[in-house]
Amino acid sequence: MIENYYLFSPPDNDTALKITHKNVTIRNVVIHHAANSRGIYFWDADGLTIENVEVIAYGVHESGPMPCPSRSPFNGYNCNNIFGYNSENLTIKNVRVEGGSKGISIQECEGAKLENVIAKNVRGPYPAG
């Protein structure tokens, strides 16, 4: 369990928080990650719960955000606040994301439940945003 925590990820980190275990709960957490990186990244994390969490990309200015790297795994547009795949029974509840190229992106997550999600300034570029 990751609970009651503030995480600031420096601009040279690709990902603020990686989850690769089953039945993890992230609750009452605030994450600030650079706009050219990812906030939460998970895979093979069956039973993951993300609840009462804010994931905010910093470095998003009126003149434009820090560019998303063209190298893999970002490919110029995958600087997401939350990104995950191949995780059954995922729960995302009471979550606010801001400034990512995609707010929340989940793939191959059978039984996923999302409730009370707010996304602000989801910026792209295409095919994100």
Which tokens go with 122?
């989801």
| pLDDT tier for residue 16 given thresholds of 50, 70 and 90 | very high
pLDDT for 33-58, tens place per residue? 999 999 999 999 999 999 999 999 99
Three-state SS at 48: coil
